[in-house]
Structure 1
């Protein structure tokens, strides 16, 4: 496995201490009651620079790479996956960086790096999930503004964010052979704590991923200044997919963090829980489970490091990014399930946090492209498209 440099080790250690002292206690307290991530915790994350890890130094960011981004995400996910996901709300525009105008970079990026301008991502729709090109939400030019109308789904943090990145179809004519064309991206600015004017929302009831709210949104002639168009009109699909390699490595990091949290909790329980006159960690069945869990985590981590190195070197690695996302997310569900099993009946209660790791790990197989989508991408690279 890649040996971490001293600088990267310091970044990892700092994130680990922050998670131990601040993130995990907040999660243990708030997740059971579906409470929101505290604003003061976000402010502390901003002070640590977590919202600007990928943002260039000239705009106030740390100017680091996918490797450091994933190191931090993995550690945060050991405490609460929602917090590990939150850092993307400041680094989220990095995939669109090349498409932004110099003026937009000067206005948006420094505020994002300071944690003062966090975003939500609104791409999916009721009929456009994995099939992103099926977007039907429309934007019509009206003078110096765009008017957005349509429904969006799975928009997490829509209320708490300072802006929503919305993808809508600006060309009413859909080419059946090139459905991805004609989609544009818009920066919809809004007051923190509210939805934008012209947008109504319904909360989606989830089984996990607590700490923030996920919404179904209905845009009804929502007005956006023409200057808030990100990139070229009609090329929003390419913006949505530009950062997928980093996003999938980030999901792998979150998956690994969840699995490590499950393993950590299971080891602690195996040492303390006594049955038949001895700690259950003395029984071969439990010892072998832990050995297998630890091995799978290390394998996923090694693959993630390799993918991150490729991303930071500018080497195209969409196949490898899909591989690590697939392997790490599937591994996380297995490992957290085994951790829950080691807890026995106690694992199936909210008295122990292992059930949170398990619930959240299940989601990693779905978002940022389902496991089935990853397998299609990988097999297309190996065998060619069917």
Structure 2
């Protein structure tokens, strides 16, 4: 079959700097990520070297303030970068989204002193972050988390080696942590007060903190190159200087981060869907049956048209939500809609791509079966799509009555 190189997505970018940025990302994708994506995913290899390259290239802190090493880019641009990365390898695109999520609490709610001390290394110093909210018994119901942080005013901070007079001791287990066991820092939500959302506080925990350990990575159906693991906090001591925001503010910080994180997942989903469509088009225009390309048959042409339409609609939806965020306007409902629509679309498009390739699509010789397996997790992470429907409905009709 003749090769049909995919055409780059025509993007509406707000500045020349943004256009240069996307061009840089496409160059990294073509040279460093795409050629090894299938092999490394099959081997379960996490490409830490790629994240180091992205950090050195200024791509791990794009939506954050340049004062602390960020890129000063609007979400409208940052999300399109994520889409480009995810279209080449979801492990990379989703990894950048999770890293940005892990930086959100400190960038948005930390003191100037905390930001000056930690953000430069987090945004452009080669560090990799993870976000710790979910637990074995609290996934969708995050406000019921059980990991505890207890004050120890007389202890010595082993993480800093100095008398703190106000350390916290964290005990508990976090689950489904992307980059669990390999991250350099963790944004951790722990209970410091009573039951419910008001008793939760955010902390910045070093990856090498004493008493912190990771279980063996989960054996997943997709994204095998991205480690997902439980984290065990066995009396992990952190100084009060690593508490982010006020005591009891942690759940509000977490929800704020998730609104932005859902847009990251939406963009990644469209990246995976676009990659699947590109593969399906290449196959359909090159594969001949009954003396002509299968792309000539109306049933298949309509399937390709529907796939492309869902991708364009999803891209428009996540960009509309991003522009609301960039304008400082409420965007929680639109973020939930974007996450819901884009990830459902990715599941449908990747499934259809397998169908277009027929028997070949069901083999590992072509990447569409991997895209289909990867798309499934996007309907689950950052709040399941059932939770997204609940969020949207509350915005429309108010809280449920009991």
* Preserved contact between residue 32 and residue 350 of structure 1 (Cα < 8 Å): no
* Preserved contact between residue 202 and residue 217 of structure 1 (Cα < 8 Å): no
Question: Which whole-Å CA distance do the structure 1 matches of 2:240 and 2:227 have between them?
Answer: 29
Question: Which whole-Å CA distance do the structure 1 matches of 2:237 and 2:222 have between them?
Answer: 33
- Residue of structure 2 in register with 1:246 after alignment: 260
- Residue of structure 2 in register with 1:187 after alignment: 204
State the 4+ residue runs in structure 1 displaced beyond 6 angstroms. none
1:212-231, aligned counterparts within 5 Å? 212-231=226-245
**CA positional deviation for 1:243:** 2.2
1:60 pairs with 2:69: yes
1:13 pairs with 2:35: no
Question: Alignment length, in residue pairs?
Answer: 377
Could you list the per-position Cα deviations for residues 184-221 of structure 1 after superposition, in whole angstroms to 9, with x for gaps in the alignment?
11111024xxx853435232211112222111122221
Could you list the per-position Cα deviations for residues 323-379 of structure 1 after superposition, in whole angstroms to 9, with x for gaps in the alignment?
111111100000010001111111111111111111111111111111111111111
Question: Which whole-Å CA distance do the structure 1 matches of 2:387 and 2:338 have between them?
Answer: 13
1:131 pairs with 2:131: no
**CA positional deviation for 1:95:** 4.4
Question: Which whole-Å CA distance do the structure 2 matches of 1:277 and 1:98 have between them?
Answer: 60
SS at match of 1:218: strand
Cα gap change, 1:114/1:383 in structure 2, threshold over 3 Å: closer, same or farther?
same
The one of 180, 204, 208 equivalent to 1:158 is 180
Question: Which whole-Å CA distance do the structure 2 matches of 1:269 and 1:292 have between them?
Answer: 17
- Residue of structure 2 in register with 1:86 after alignment: 95
Cα gap change, 1:6/1:139 in structure 2, threshold over 3 Å: closer, same or farther?
closer
* Preserved contact between residue 55 and residue 63 of structure 1 (Cα < 8 Å): yes
* Preserved contact between residue 150 and residue 168 of structure 2 (Cα < 8 Å): yes
The one of 298, 302, 306 equivalent to 1:292 is 306
**CA positional deviation for 1:162:** 0.6
Question: Which whole-Å CA distance do the structure 2 matches of 1:353 and 1:2 have between them?
Answer: 24
Q: What is the root-mean-square deviation in Å for CA atoms of aligned residues?
A: 1.8
**CA positional deviation for 1:244:** 2.5
Q: Decide which moves more: 111-120 or 246-255.
A: 111-120
1:76 pairs with 2:93: no
- Residue of structure 1 in register with 2:192 after alignment: 170
Q: Decide which moves more: 12-21 or 371-380.
A: 12-21
* Preserved contact between residue 53 and residue 62 of structure 1 (Cα < 8 Å): yes
1:1-386, aligned counterparts within 5 Å? 3-7=12-16, 8-37=18-47, 39-92=48-101, 93-143=103-153, 144-171=166-193, 173-174=194-195, 179-191=196-208, 197-386=211-400
Cα gap change, 1:206/1:295 in structure 2, threshold over 3 Å: closer, same or farther?
same
* Preserved contact between residue 319 and residue 377 of structure 1 (Cα < 8 Å): yes
**CA positional deviation for 1:33:** 1.8
**Where in structure 1 are there 5+ consecutive unaligned residues?**
none
TM-score, with length taken from structure 2: 0.89
Could you list the per-position Cα deviations for residues 252-287 of structure 1 after superposition, in whole angstroms to 9, with x for gaps in the alignment?
100100000000010111122222222211211211
**CA positional deviation for 1:32:** 1.4
Question: Which whole-Å CA distance do the structure 1 matches of 2:230 and 2:176 have between them?
Answer: 6
**CA positional deviation for 1:116:** 2.2
TM-score, with length taken from structure 1: 0.93
Question: Which whole-Å CA distance do the structure 1 matches of 2:217 and 2:108 have between them?
Answer: 33
Question: Which whole-Å CA distance do the structure 2 matches of 1:121 and 1:276 have between them?
Answer: 53
* Preserved contact between residue 181 and residue 213 of structure 2 (Cα < 8 Å): no
**CA positional deviation for 1:17:** 2.9
SS at match of 2:28: helix
Cα gap change, 1:196/1:45 in structure 2, threshold over 3 Å: closer, same or farther?
farther
**CA positional deviation for 1:90:** 4.1
